[in-house]
């Protein structure tokens, strides 16, 4: 599930800054407010929380997709830094 959180935030960062290539630098504390049962369909939402000169942080909120008005299952923040052009030339 945490991989999905990272991917969701990475997609949001890539849409917000399409000219940048991002790598994850931090995934903040994840505290589950409610249990997540196997088979639960999840809805992820993102919101830009901070924009630095070489980094960006997105808040990710996860809900039960069938009950999006209920309290969030958990909320976390994911931070990315963008690679400079010379750091990506080896690709």
Structure tokens at 21: 């290539």
User: Is the pTM higher than 0.85?
Assistant: no
CA distance 80 to 71: 27
pLDDT in tens, 16-71: 988 889 999 999 988 888 888 899 899 999 999 999 888 999 999 999 999 867 88
Angle, vertex CA 66, rays to CA 9 and CA 4, nearest 5: 25
78: buried, middle or exposed (CB in 10 Å: 19+, 13-18, 0-12)? Answer: buried
Q: Is the dihedral of CA 37, 39, 40, 42 positive or negative?
A: positive
């Amino acid at each position: 599930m945490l991989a999905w959180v990272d991917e969701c935030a990475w997609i949001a960062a890539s849409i917000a800054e399409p000219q940048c290539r991002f790598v994850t630098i931090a995934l903040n504390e994840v505290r589950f407010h409610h249990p997540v049962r196997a088979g639960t369909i999840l809805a992820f939402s993102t919101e830009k929380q901070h924009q630095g000169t070489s980094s960006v942080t997105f808040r990710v909120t996860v809900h039960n997709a069938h009950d999006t008005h209920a309290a969030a299952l958990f909320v976390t923040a994911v931070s990315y830094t963008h690679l400079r052009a010379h750091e990506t030339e080896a690709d």
